Amino acid sequence: MASPNFKYAKRQKEIAKQQKNEEKRLRKLEKRNGTDPDAEPASEGEIAIDAETGLEEEVVAEAEPNQEEKL
């Protein structure tokens, strides 16, 4: 009968713990910076808050350049 590989199980447990701690650290960092990684970007006409400055900005669609400028 084969004996269980305790070192492998222990290492897998350590890796899972490290990943969990890294995810927790990233969530705290995102929360501290005021950004939400799961939040959808604001659509056109909505007010968005800039994460760096904390100022509100209205989201405006970018216009395509004129065809004359390309010629």
pLDDT tens figures, 12-50: 999 999 999 999 999 999 999 886 555 555 555 566 665
44 lies in some domain: yes
The pTM of this model reads 0.43
Residue 65: domain span? 6-70
1 lies in some domain: no
57 lies in some domain: yes
Contact indicator for 59, 45 with CB cutoff of 8 Å: yes
55 lies in some domain: yes
Q: Which residues contact 55 (CB under 8 A, 6 or more apart)?
A: 49
